[in-house]
């Protein structure tokens, strides 16, 4: 699959997850062999206001190409300006979020709200395509609910204004992340447009990715929640799709080594106070399925310093040996 000047093969993308896929997590995924990662979704308004926290989310230094920045907004003009700022920061691809189901996003007419305003969604995409010289892609859902499935019309509209790739999370906004993703709609959208279509939803192991591709004909896959506490899933899935063999799941020692390296990256970029707050959730994800996980989860949530977190991770390893 080609995207602009990039030959991506059959891509396995790390999904843009707010509060999760920050620079430290992206570096962790890439250190394990992941190739193509996306930033967290970034507010066009906050970027235009030069909000310091938002600008830090555009730190793309030392990241592999293509560097994909995801923006969200509801106004064509402010989205265009934000796209230019992302381009200046080193983005190789601009992705537009039209699928986030969070109420705080919806109330501003952003994310999944655009599934109920297709002309505005199309105008936003057209405006961004017009001002940047790099590929523009869009991530959508099926529709607002099962009575308002708009994925086919949305795909046609976006392709018509020059969007070069579409990612479909095969759930409605009303579903959030519940129920099952309806992969049949990925196939329907793939048949509707000529641009590459990436499938998203319910990929938790390499075999899920191959099954999605076989059933839908999609050009690649995107993994979100499956990578929580499991950053090696991206590279394991890529390896399986390319070679047909399964790389074994990492043993506990490797899992905790990766968790520790991830934590040190978080500290480097965000400092101890913010870094510790953010790492607690990741640490809980990393130890899922470990013996006495519930007990250690409580201890992790009570850590008050970086050294305490390091000690807890070491204790978990000793507990599992």
Q: What is the 3-state secondary structure (H, E, C) of 284-300?
A: HHHCCCCCCHHHHHHHH
Question: In which band, very low, low, confident or very high, does the pLDDT at 85 lie, cut at 50, 70 and 90?
Answer: very high
Domain count, the chain: 2
310 carries a ligand binding annotation: no
State pLDDT tens for residues 202-238. 999 999 999 999 999 999 999 999 999 999 999 999 9
235 in the same domain as 105: yes
Confidence of residue 317 (pLDDT cuts 50, 70, 90): confident
Q: Is the pLDDT of residue 266 over 80?
A: yes
Residue 165, classed as helix, strand or coil, is strand
- List beta partners, residue 200: 169, 222
Q: Per residue in 139-189, pLDDT tens?
A: 999 999 999 999 999 999 999 999 999 999 999 999 999 999 999 999 999
Beta strands in the chain (DSSP E): 2-3, 6-7, 12-14, 36-37, 42-43, 68-72, 93-98, 136-141, 165-169, 197-200, 220-223
Catalytic residue among 30, 100, 205, 218: 100
Question: What's the burial of 231, exposed, middle or buried (CB within 10 Å: 0-12/13-18/19+)?
Answer: buried
Among 225, 243, 261, the domain boundary falls at 243
Token reading at 90: 């080193």
pLDDT given at position 43: 98
* CATH code for position 148: 3.20.20.70
DSSP string, 255-313: HHHHHHHHHHHHHHHHHHHHHHHHHHHHHHHHTTTSTTHHHHHHHHHT--SHHHHHHHH
| Whether the predicted pLDDT of 62 surpasses 60 | yes
Cα 109–chain centre separation? 21
Instruction: Please tell me whether 295 is known to bind a ligand.
Output: no
Interior/surface letters 193-214, b for 16+ CB within 10 angstroms, e for the rest: bebbbbbbbbbebbebbbebbe
* 70 assigned to a ligand binding site: yes
Query: For residues 35 and 241, is the Cβ–Cβ distance under 8 A?
Result: no
The mean per-residue pLDDT over the stretch 187-194 comes to 98
Residue 64 DSSP label: P
Same domain, 227 and 313: no
The whole-number pLDDT of residue 155 equals 99
The question of whether 30 is a catalytic residue gets the answer: no
Whether residue 238 is annotated as binding a ligand: the answer is no
Do residue 235 and residue 257 come from a single domain? no
Based on the domain organization, do 131 and 215 belong to the same domain?
yes
285-314 average pLDDT score: 94
Domain boundary among 243, 266, 293: 243
Picking from 243, 272, 298, the residue at the C-terminal end of a domain is: 243
Residue 320 pLDDT class (50, 70, 90 cuts): low
The answer on 220 and 189 residing in a single domain is yes
Percent with pLDDT over 70 in the chain: 99
User: Do residue 177 and residue 301 come from a single domain?
Assistant: no
Q: Which residue has the higher pLDDT, 319 or 8?
A: 8
Torsion sign over Cα 180, 183, 189, 190: positive
Instruction: Kindly tell me if the per-residue pLDDT of 321 is higher than 60.
Output: no
If asked whether residues 152 and 81 sit together in one domain, one would say yes
Residue 131 confidence (pLDDT) above 70: yes
Domain that holds residue 273: 252-320
Distance in angstroms (rounded) separating the CA atoms of residues 68 and 21 = 12
Residue 18 shares a structural domain with residue 142: yes
C-beta separation of 92 from 86 below 8 A: no
Same domain flag for 130 and 279: no
> Does residue 58 sit in the same domain as residue 134?
yes
């Amino acid at each position: 699959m080609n995207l602009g000047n990039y030959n991506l093969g059959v891509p396995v993308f790390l999904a843009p997850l707010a509060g999760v896929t920050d620079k430290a997590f992206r570096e962790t995924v890439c250190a394990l062999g992941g190739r193509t990662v996306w930033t967290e979704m970034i507010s066009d308004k906050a970027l235009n206001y030069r909000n310091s926290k938002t600008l830090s989310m555009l730190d793309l230094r030392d990241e592999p190409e293509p560097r994909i920045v995801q923006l969200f907004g509801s106004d064509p003009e402010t989205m265009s300006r934000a796209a230019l700022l992302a381009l200046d920061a080193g983005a190789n691809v601009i992705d537009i979020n039209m699928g986030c189901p969070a109420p705080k996003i919806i109330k501003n007419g952003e994310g999944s709200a655009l599934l109920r305003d297709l002309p505005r969604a199309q105008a936003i995409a057209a405006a961004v395509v017009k001002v940047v010289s790099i590929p523009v892609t869009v991530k959508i859902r099926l529709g607002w609910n099962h009575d308002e499935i708009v994925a086919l019309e949305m795909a046609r509209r976006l392709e018509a204004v020059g969007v070069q790739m579409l990612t479909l999370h095969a759930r409605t906004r009303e579903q959030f992340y519940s129920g099952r993703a309806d992969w049949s709609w990925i196939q329907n959208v793939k048949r509707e447009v000529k641009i590459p279509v990436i499938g998203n939803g319910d990929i938790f192991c390499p075999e899920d990715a191959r099954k999605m591709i076989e059933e839908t004909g999609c050009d690649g896959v995107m993994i979100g929640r499956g990578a929580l506490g499991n950053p090696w899933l991206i590279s394991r899935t890529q390896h399986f799709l390319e070679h047909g063999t399964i790389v074994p799941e990492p043993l506990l020692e490797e899992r905790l080594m990766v968790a520790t390296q991830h934590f040190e990256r978080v500290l480097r970029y965000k400092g101890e106070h913010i870094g510790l707050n953010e790492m607690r959730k990741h640490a809980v994800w990393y130890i899922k399925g470990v013996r006495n996980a519930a007990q250690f989860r409580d201890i992790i949530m009570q850590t008050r310093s970086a050294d305490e977190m390091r000690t807890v991770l070491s204790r978990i390893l000793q507990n599992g040996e």
